[in-house]
Amino acid sequence: MIHLITLNPAIDEYISVDGFEIEKTSYRTNTDVVMGGKAVNVASVLRSLGTAATLVTCVDYSNKFVVDSLQDYNSYLIEVDHIRTNLKINNNGSITEINDRGQALSGVARLQFETYVSKCVEAGDIVLIAGNPHFDDELFQYRLAKIAKAKGAKLFLDSNKFDLEMIKDLEPYFIKPNDEELETLGIEASELASYVNELVVSHGGNGFTYYDKNMSQYEQPITGKPINTVGAGDSLVAGYIYATVNEFNLDDKLKVAKYSASATVYSGKLATKDTIKQYDQTNIIK
């Protein structure tokens, strides 16, 4: 079973602006509002790929948009009184993000997250803990990871709120820092790989590098004109989970991850099976 956990989901408002400049009036050319948050994005891509997963996240039942956006997922929803809104400004393909930090979880909400992980996660399950919680919940997120690891889950982490000592303690199955996050951890990728089964370091538009305890492999990016890079990393993670579940060999696993990220970047929306398969010339994805 796959469990996708995000403590701090968001409403993502995408605004396209032609010629945005600070301290000047700009006009929207397009607006799109979607339910976001890393695990929500991963759930969307996995659903399109036909892979069953449970989304574990927060909901504000007074917000119809949030409720409607989450109702089609196989989900375990924990009630909170506020869902943050993030603003993504697309200026001719260059993205500026203005993100809300959100609110700390209540004691009741924390208990519900902990109860879910304690009762529903089983040995061999994949548990993704993704996204950046409110700073008051950073240690709680680590606690959830500890519980999942103790139950024998394959722990996937995609959050910059796990520091090096946490990673060393958890020894997760998979993590995906970008170059900046790796620098913040203060460790070389080859050394970090000694604490992780599988490590992917994202280089943004320059592809990514895979590491394990024995080797590394660089994946060149697919070239094209980027439309929207938001969600590309989440799509990569979704593709990687899909390939892991289907027991693909390493080369095919990395290809599916790359295709999934590219499908988001070059379509302007989260990757779907159809947009991913446009890059899959050898029919890895069935």
pLDDT at position 14 over 90: no
pLDDT at position 93 over 80: no
pLDDT band at 188 (very low <50, low <70, confident <90, very high): very high
Closest CA to 100 of 7, 230, 201, 12: 12
- The C-alpha atoms of residue 86 and residue 37 are separated, in whole angstroms, by 10
Confidence (pLDDT) at 90: 82
Confidence (pLDDT) at 77: 98
Give the DSSP letter of residue 208.
E
- Contact criterion met (CB below 8 Å) for 40 and 6: yes
Give the strand pairing for 174-175 and 10-17.
unpaired
Average confidence score pLDDT of the chain: 95
pLDDT at position 95 over 90: no
- The C-alpha atoms of residue 223 and residue 70 are separated, in whole angstroms, by 33
Confidence (pLDDT) at 81: 94
pLDDT tens string 234-278: 999 999 999 999 999 999 999 999 999 999 999 989 999 999 999
Q: Which two tokens stand for residue 182?
A: 């790796």
- Contact criterion met (CB below 8 Å) for 156 and 174: yes
Confidence (pLDDT) at 54: 98
pLDDT at position 87 over 90: yes
Percent of the chain with pLDDT over 70: 100
